[in-house]
Amino acid sequence: MFTPVHAHGEATKATSPTVHTTSPFAATLRPWAEIIATLDVAFQPIVNIHTGACYGYEALLRNTEAAGFSSIQDFFDTCHALGALPEMELALREKAMEKFLRLDHCRQSKLFLNLDNRALDASGSLTARTRKLLERAGLDESQVVYEVSERHAFDHPGEAASVLAHDKRAGFRLAIDDFGTGFSGLQLLYFAEPDFLKIDRFFVSDIANDSKKKLFLSQIVNIAHLLGVVVLAEGVETEREYFVCKDIGCDLIQGYLVQKPTVDMAELKPAYQAIAHMAKSERRAAVSDQKLIADQITYVDPIGLDCRMEEVFERFRADKSLTFFPVVDEAGEPVGIVREKELKDYTYSLYGKALISNKTIGRKLKDFVTRCPMADINTKAERILQAYSTVERSEGIIIVDNMKYVGFLSAHSLLRVINEKNLAAARDQNPLTKLPGNNLIHEYVSEVLAATDQEVVLAYFDFDNFKPFNDKYGFRLGDRAILLFAELLSKALPRDTCFPAHVGGDDFFGGFRGQGYAETMGTIADLVETFRRDVESFYDDETRAAGHITGQDRQGNVVRFALMSVSAAVVHLPAGRPVHTVDEISQLIAGLKKEAKKSPDRVAAGALVAR
């Protein structure tokens, strides 16, 4: 006889079925209280991708081997086989809550709890008992996010969604975990209407070098945002992965780049400055978008999710110019909008308002909430426009900052943002190559010089023997050579970690972050060689065979000029360096340019010495 003990000390008898497992839990029938006491819970932070502020923590089971199980999976499989999975889920939730309460900032954070699909409870008993635990802990249901994984297949996603909807009606949040690992994910996303979508590590791993993964992830993010779902990238381990996830539009991240899971609650922080620094260093374009968006936001006073329906009717009656109101939870996070047209059946019915306001049989505000596209204020304007244009008859876009509601962006306001951005981009980019120009280059260099904790490589590219080529073939072919290098530079320097720019004429600039110095030097060498090889096709057969152009130098002497190439002056700025000025960088580059033109490989590198 197996006698599990509730976390509250209540004994519940259950007959142990035949279990085909080597687990000591089944073989020795160890007391449940002893096993629970051995288990521990680790926490891993989930942070805002734009600010580094901690949004919540995922609770992860630990010490299953010490409790006598071969793995975490073996532990849950055994619980399920013994019919004890719901009881164990409840006990583990209480254990996680107890540790979560040790955080000074727990009231401002979410607690993410993994839910074994096999413990889904159609009766709602587990949900009711979890709410009692929360009441004793002084936590609100909206602080708890259930993570449902695809790893245990759903026979009927629609039926599972109806069970999960019960938890959502009770005030809990829902996340689809490990999205992309199974075949039911899209169906579950459709039926369950989750609040969060956690992208599996598979799609994040090495995404900076995998264009197919970028395509998949960008489409997943777009779909999620159109449904008003927050996207969380799991397993982010490198800066390059971070920058791609940020550029694609993920809202939250989790992984070793932020912090590894820990059982020591003192190691957890309310904010992670390393992420904030990375976001700030890569926010050149986003900052201008943020200001443009902030200037166009309309603040529509939201309605609280716990607001009584009489108050909702009064809001519409008092302000007849509005046809909808944003709805937020207790934390100020938007959950959707409530539209006047959904309430009309009750508004114009003789007993409609009385019925809907009845505390016993009436419906609550959450029954009328409609999902609405949502975007962070740091999101690129073009991505917001894409989200808006995909949804038919959308009222607009809810804008959030650090996951909190800050306002609403209408169609008219969004078009004004796009127009202002296009005008600003035209002013700051080179008219020929459309690459960032001198103003943005100066901004970039100033920012990376200030970020002394990051390794940075700056490269200045200058054409060799461009004037003889231009004199012989004309400025149109000269422009084609400039455009060729601009295209090669843009391909070699991905925008997620690099900064390709055009100083003017035949001078270009490149900034590298998030990759090692040796890798960067390899990229620059390949770029120099590729341009030398490709530009040869611009010459006529006779000149190409000769390997030079015969022309006049500045003094009028007849000389031979080698075929066109490009030289690179490279400045290495290691992490932990002292603060340098833009003038110091410019002087170093001037000297390196002369060395590069004399070098056989057309590359010269240097670094500033500490003052």
Which pLDDT tens digit goes with each residue over 26-52?
A: 444 467 788 889 999 999 999 999 999
Q: Is residue 10 part of a domain?
A: no
Q: CA 39 from chain center: how many Å?
A: 32
CATH assignment of the domain containing 51: 3.20.20.450
| Amino acid letter, 176 | I
Is the domain of 192 the same as that of 256? yes
Is the domain of 86 the same as that of 223? yes
Q: Is residue 54 part of a domain?
A: yes
Calpha distance 590→507 (Å, rounded):
12
How much is the pLDDT for 123? Answer: 67
User: Which DSSP letter does residue 115 get?
Assistant: E
Is the domain of 412 the same as that of 310? yes
Cβ-based neighbours of 33, under 8 Å, separated by 6 or more:
5
Which value, in Å, is the radius of gyration of the alpha carbons in the chain?
Answer: 30
Q: Is residue 611 part of a domain?
A: no
* Token pair for 180: 């992309």
| Amino acid letter, 451 | A
**Is there a contact between 520 and 492 (Cβ–Cβ < 8 Å)?**
no
Cβ-based neighbours of 45, under 8 Å, separated by 6 or more:
54, 56, 57, 254, 258, 259, 268, 269, 272
How much is the pLDDT for 352? Answer: 60
Calpha distance 331→516 (Å, rounded):
41
Calpha distance 126→136 (Å, rounded):
16
How much is the pLDDT for 527? Answer: 97
Q: Is residue 142 part of a domain?
A: yes
HSE-CB of 458 using CA atoms within 13 angstroms: 25
Helix/strand/coil for 41: strand
**Is there a contact between 7 and 94 (Cβ–Cβ < 8 Å)?**
yes
Choose the final residue of a domain: 390, 420, 450: 420
Q: CA 81 from chain center: how many Å?
A: 38
Calpha distance 485→464 (Å, rounded):
13
Is the domain of 595 the same as that of 478? yes
Query: Which of 339-348, 472-481, 583-592 shows the lowest per-residue confidence on average (mean pLDDT)?
Result: 339-348
Q: pTM value?
A: 0.65
How much is the pLDDT for 418? Answer: 83
**Is there a contact between 472 and 564 (Cβ–Cβ < 8 Å)?**
no
Calpha distance 64→40 (Å, rounded):
8
Helix/strand/coil for 471: helix
Cα separation values, 199 from 105, 217, 284, 597, Å:
26, 8, 26, 48
Query: Which of 167-181, 498-512, 530-544 shows the lowest per-residue confidence on average (mean pLDDT)?
Result: 167-181
Choose the final residue of a domain: 282, 305, 322: 282
Q: CA 45 from chain center: how many Å?
A: 14
Q: How confident is the model at residue 282 (pLDDT cuts 50, 70, 90)?
A: low
Mean pLDDT for 503-532 is 92
Is the domain of 180 the same as that of 311? no
Q: Burial-class residue 177 by CB neighbours within 10 Å (0-12, 13-18, 19+).
A: buried
Strands 507-513 vs 456-464: parallel, antiparallel or unpaired: antiparallel
Residue in 139, 156, 232 with CA at minimum distance from that of residue 194? 232
Is the domain of 53 the same as that of 182? yes
The tally of domains found in the chain comes to: 3
Calpha distance 525→570 (Å, rounded):
11
User: Which DSSP letter does residue 50 get?
Assistant: T
CB neighbours of residue 264 within 10 Å:
8
Choose the final residue of a domain: 392, 420, 448: 420
Is the domain of 369 the same as that of 461? no
Q: CA 282 from chain center: how many Å?
A: 13
Burial 128-152 (b: 16+ CB within 10 A, else e): ebbbebbeebebebbbbbbbbbbeb
In the predicted structure, residue 533 carries a pLDDT above the cut 80:
yes
CATH assignment of the domain containing 402: 3.10.580.10
How much is the pLDDT for 261? Answer: 96
Beta bridge mates, 233: 199, 253
Mean pLDDT for 484-496 is 89
User: Which DSSP letter does residue 301 get?
Assistant: P
Q: Highest-confidence range of 88-92, 273-277, 459-463, 496-500, by mean pLDDT? A: 459-463
Which pLDDT tens digit goes with each residue over 204-224?
A: 998 888 878 888 898 899 888
CATH assignment of the domain containing 571: 3.30.70.270
Helix/strand/coil for 277: helix
Helix axes 284-296, 411-428, angle to 10 degrees: 140
Is the domain of 243 the same as that of 307? no
Mean pLDDT for 479-503 is 91
Burial 356-369 (b: 16+ CB within 10 A, else e): beeeeeeebbbebb
**Is there a contact between 601 and 525 (Cβ–Cβ < 8 Å)?**
yes
Which pLDDT tens digit goes with each residue over 185-199?
A: 677 788 888 999 999
User: Which DSSP letter does residue 271 get?
Assistant: B
Cβ-based neighbours of 204, under 8 Å, separated by 6 or more:
213, 217, 233, 234, 235, 236, 241, 245, 255
How much is the pLDDT for 554? Answer: 72
Calpha distance 457→451 (Å, rounded):
12
In the predicted structure, residue 313 carries a pLDDT above the cut 70:
yes
How much is the pLDDT for 285? Answer: 39
Calpha distance 571→510 (Å, rounded):
11
**Is there a contact between 235 and 204 (Cβ–Cβ < 8 Å)?**
yes
Calpha distance 400→297 (Å, rounded):
11
**Is there a contact between 418 and 382 (Cβ–Cβ < 8 Å)?**
yes
Which pLDDT tens digit goes with each residue over 553-601?
A: 777 788 899 999 999 999 999 988 888 888 999 999 999 999 999 999 9
Q: How confident is the model at residue 170 (pLDDT cuts 50, 70, 90)?
A: confident
Is the domain of 542 the same as that of 581? yes
Which pLDDT tens digit goes with each residue over 91-147?
A: 999 999 999 999 998 888 999 999 888 877 766 788 889 999 999 998 988 899 999
Q: Is residue 595 part of a domain?
A: yes
In the predicted structure, residue 158 carries a pLDDT above the cut 80:
no
Q: How confident is the model at residue 1 (pLDDT cuts 50, 70, 90)?
A: very low
Q: Is residue 243 part of a domain?
A: yes
Is the domain of 527 the same as that of 402? no
Q: Burial-class residue 344 by CB neighbours within 10 Å (0-12, 13-18, 19+).
A: exposed
Q: Name the one residue in this structure whose structure tokens are 């727990």.
A: 106
Mean pLDDT for 473-501 is 91
Q: CA 59 from chain center: how many Å?
A: 20
* Token pair for 11: 């004994």
Q: How confident is the model at residue 6 (pLDDT cuts 50, 70, 90)?
A: very low
The length of the chain in residues reads 611
Is the domain of 374 the same as that of 258? no
* Token pair for 430: 């080179």
Residue in 123, 181, 170, 180 with CA at minimum distance from that of residue 146? 170
Q: For residue 48, what are the domain limits? A: 24-282
In the predicted structure, residue 357 carries a pLDDT above the cut 70:
no
Calpha distance 493→496 (Å, rounded):
9
Q: Is residue 19 part of a domain?
A: no
Phi, psi dihedrals of residue 160, rounded to the nearest 5°: -60, -40
* Token pair for 590: 């001037």
How much is the pLDDT for 342? Answer: 79
Mean pLDDT for 232-236 is 95
- What rounded mean pLDDT belongs to the chain? 84
Q: Is residue 4 part of a domain?
A: no
Is the domain of 576 the same as that of 516? yes
